[in-house]
Chains A and B, each alone.
Chain A
């Protein structure tokens, strides 16, 4: 209580809100929400205060340098890969007109529905030494092992390629919106001052789209750092490998939590550095949009071909492989529960998407109203969960919930002579909470980058005309932000659909999802049997992608 009172005092003396109102309930709601979402992260961070065991010496002596180096390379590779693919695709589809453009605009989103571990399975099946491609090569040319060079798919390079192929849509989505909302006049001014189209891209369009690109790339990087499925399958010793080896192999949960806490600290530093470096820049949209330049001849073929290649590699090839496996092996995964799995996955993902969107709006808008240090830090800390492996978040959720449940139970026994048992642990509520902690960052980035492009003068105008903060949000921001909100919903939906580790440990009795089914079959090394549930994940993931596509199409119509 004392803590909350102090917070209230701190907040009410806080001067800075856009509309200049003294006290508002927004910051209070923001801090309380953020505090709740931060709880699991705090639990993990608290492990740093526990004594460091001898395992640390062993890790430092043997493997930690390897883990750090691999993770750094992985981040560099995926960062570069997603930036090039995402920004390139976004720029080509917004700045140029070429045959097939309108279809490619949405097709480029498809890889998003493909979980990284599943694309890893399919490409391994295709390109591995014992896979059909290499076997065909050997049969045709009479080669044996060692007679020819073929890139090793299960390697660091392979992991970078797989993760880049499925994670670039984050960058593409956010960068595309940014490019579309950029004003034409700046680009025209640059052109009239004698700059080439390339120079316009690098000197005008790219810097203006920076917050969106950074948001997209940082999402991709956070997901990369949290990834375990792909690196584990490829035998790449990344930092997450270290976390899980320490936990599972050595039974040292404390040390594993400490490693995770350091990972979060690293992410936090990255975020702070990035925010500081563009602290003074402001990005706001204007009215008149740029026209697309018509491409012709080989340029348009090249442009179209490059984008088609991305869609092929990121979606069509693995999806076809899955489809073929699923047709031949659907019996291995099908049972009378399968439709229930589909429904469970779908409803969980929908609920969580809406919850995350609500939380993100609250946090982002609350921050806009009163951008004080407390609010900003609270929001940043609350959004750290995305970089932490789902299993670790799950432990951070498990501990406080079980603690709360057991306390409530003890009180109930004391006061009412009855037991409440575990009220929250092992319920879907706990699961949705864990998802919210883990995926808040995704929807928040989208909502924030949308809000940042809305001029504060709009808020001021609305507030001067007597609208409250809530009314302004509802009547001014929400309609403008429609695209960003849809994007946020889509991203969270797809992420929850693919999520596995937290689902595994927190779910109630007799409750399974498509991801769980896929994992169980894949972990038994029945990849072909796992194709049916994997394909179902991809197909359900396409539903919101299609919704978004329609929204994009409408947006393009409006903008011409």
Chain B
């Protein structure tokens, strides 16, 4: 029986999570305790706290629903239980009093080193405590979905548009209308309904061996399928999300057939079976195993700034080229964030996203990780400045998410491992 229930739950979960928030009522005891506390602690802007902080999650503070439940003619034991429960609630409220500071809980697939410094800065400026869990995008999304409306997460932060799209499809994000975000994040870099906003832009460029390739020979991604490049192209496996979104972008603008013929042609020109990460492709170009590679530009920036002589030497041997400048532009993906439907700290969550989109944070992405800001006019790092500006493909990034699965299938058919 139990198994049946879990199983049906499993099925439901895989399809659609019922996202309903039941109203909570409270009794006068708690109401008074709460009022007292609120009066005492006026300085705190948002009075919310989470189960993770003190081990007791108390929705009455969130819902501001202080309506008094009239006495009903319940049986004695039930009444007793209610009283006990109420007392318990009041007690947990007291225990949690210390934790009544503002908090925002973040599920992030951006790794700790590339987000924590910004979050710390936000905490310093606003006094809001940020709780962070990092992990892979799909895993965090799965966690969010199975936790349902009780999920402690306020923000889902991902490093590609596909996961944001999936989160939106799964119905775990809510629309946020923020004039600041609307004006700071360009239209094609955010969700039309305001369910998520891009926070940084990542470009997929071509790197070439300076001693063997004349950049004049390079033009587009598609041109790399020409037979002159046979045995000279390095790129990582098709399991990589940025290759998937590159192909998804092609499907969106050029159609599936064109994307597939690109994938097939590229596979025919591979210098070696796909392996390693983007930095490994750059090293392979530098070492002479291949002449060109398709990589995310910030990896090259990371190598230049690494402080490691070997990596810097490899990076010095390659040049960067922005493909498709006469056509649709260089493929870009984004990192971005949205407020969850289950958020208990919505106002502060929006403030945090606004903070991540402000000039200071945008500059930080560019300087620390050589990513591109979401809008023009932000000073970028020396490395980025040296690479010049480029025309980015403006296909709505949500399309990349929608076509991701198709892209994987295209690459499977093309034999791109």
Q: A residues engaging B (CB < 8 A)?
A: 2-3, 39, 42-43, 46-47, 49-50, 55, 58-59, 62-63, 124, 128-130, 134-135, 144-145, 152, 154-155, 232-235, 237, 241, 244-245, 247-254, 328-329, 391, 394-395, 398-400, 402-403, 405-406, 409-410, 412-413, 415-422, 425-426, 501, 504-512, 516-517, 520-521, 523-526, 528
Among residues of B, the one whose C-beta sits closest to the C-beta of A524 is B111
CB <8 Å contact, A420 and B237: no
Interface centre among B1, B89, B113 (most CB of A within 10 A): B113
CB <8 Å contact, B139 and A504: yes
Residues of A within 8 A of B135 (CB): 504-505
- In whole Å, how far is A372's beta carbon from the nearest beta carbon of chain B? 21
Residues of A within 8 A of B307 (CB): 329
Known A251-B138, A398-B143; judge A416-B89 contact (CB<8 A). Answer: yes
Among residues of A, the one whose C-beta sits closest to the C-beta of B93 is A418
How far does the alpha carbon of A525 sit from the alpha carbon of B284 in the complex, in Å?
14
CB <8 Å contact, B139 and A391: yes
CB <8 Å contact, B85 and A418: yes
CB <8 Å contact, A399 and B9: yes
Residues of A within 8 A of B142 (CB): 253, 395, 398, 505
Q: Does B277 contact A (CB under 8 A)?
A: yes
How far does the alpha carbon of A419 sit from the alpha carbon of B96 in the complex, in Å?
14
Name the segment of B193-201, B373-381, B408-416 touching the other chain.
B408-416
CB <8 Å contact, B278 and A525: yes
CB <8 Å contact, A520 and B280: no
CB <8 Å contact, A402 and B146: yes
CB <8 Å contact, A421 and B150: yes
CB <8 Å contact, A249 and B1: no
CB <8 Å contact, A509 and B134: no
Among residues of B, the one whose C-beta sits closest to the C-beta of A124 is B276
Interface centre among B24, B280, B288, B404 (most CB of A within 10 A): B280
How far does the alpha carbon of A308 sit from the alpha carbon of B60 in the complex, in Å?
66
Q: What's the A-B contact tally at a CB cutoff of 8 Å? A: 236
How far does the alpha carbon of A58 sit from the alpha carbon of B410 in the complex, in Å?
10
Q: B residues engaging A (CB < 8 A)?
A: 1-3, 6-7, 9-11, 13-14, 22, 24-27, 50-52, 56-60, 69, 78, 81-82, 84-86, 88-89, 105, 111-114, 131-140, 142-143, 146-152, 162, 166, 236-239, 241, 244, 272-280, 283-284, 286-289, 299, 302, 306-308, 314, 404-405, 407-409, 412-413, 417
Known A49-B7, A235-B273, A247-B138; judge A416-B132 contact (CB<8 A). Answer: no
How far does the alpha carbon of A419 sit from the alpha carbon of B114 in the complex, in Å?
35
Our pick among A58, A398, A418, A504 for the contact of B146 (Cβ within 8 Å) is A398
- In whole Å, how far is B364's beta carbon from the nearest beta carbon of chain A? 16
Closest 10 CB pairs of A and B: A416-B85, A421-B57, A235-B275, A509-B131, A130-B287, A249-B408, A421-B51, A250-B405, A520-B111, A402-B146
Our pick among B27, B139, B150, B408 for the contact of A409 (Cβ within 8 Å) is B150
Among residues of A, the one whose C-beta sits closest to the C-beta of B146 is A402
- In whole Å, how far is B307's beta carbon from the nearest beta carbon of chain A? 8
Among residues of B, the one whose C-beta sits closest to the C-beta of A408 is B150
Our pick among A130, A410, A422 for the contact of B286 (Cβ within 8 Å) is A130
CB <8 Å contact, A130 and B289: yes
- In whole Å, how far is A68's beta carbon from the nearest beta carbon of chain B? 15
CB <8 Å contact, B60 and A46: no
How far does the alpha carbon of A233 sit from the alpha carbon of B280 in the complex, in Å?
11
Our pick among A49, A395, A426, A512 for the contact of B152 (Cβ within 8 Å) is A426
Among residues of A, the one whose C-beta sits closest to the C-beta of B369 is A524
- In whole Å, how far is B89's beta carbon from the nearest beta carbon of chain A? 4
Residues of B within 8 A of A59 (CB): 412
Known A248-B241, A398-B142, A516-B134; judge A413-B22 contact (CB<8 A). Answer: yes
CB<8 Å pairs between A and B, sample of 5: A46-B6, A46-B7, A130-B280, A406-B147, A505-B143
Residues of B within 8 A of A63 (CB): 412
- In whole Å, how far is A546's beta carbon from the nearest beta carbon of chain B? 31
Known A245-B239, A417-B25; judge A507-B133 contact (CB<8 A). Answer: yes
Residues of A within 8 A of B82 (CB): 415-417
Residues of B within 8 A of A510 (CB): 131-133
- In whole Å, how far is B334's beta carbon from the nearest beta carbon of chain A? 17
How far does the alpha carbon of A250 sit from the alpha carbon of B69 in the complex, in Å?
49
Known A130-B286, A399-B146, A505-B139; judge A250-B408 contact (CB<8 A). Answer: yes
Interface centre among A124, A241, A525 (most CB of B within 10 A): A525
CB <8 Å contact, A329 and B146: no
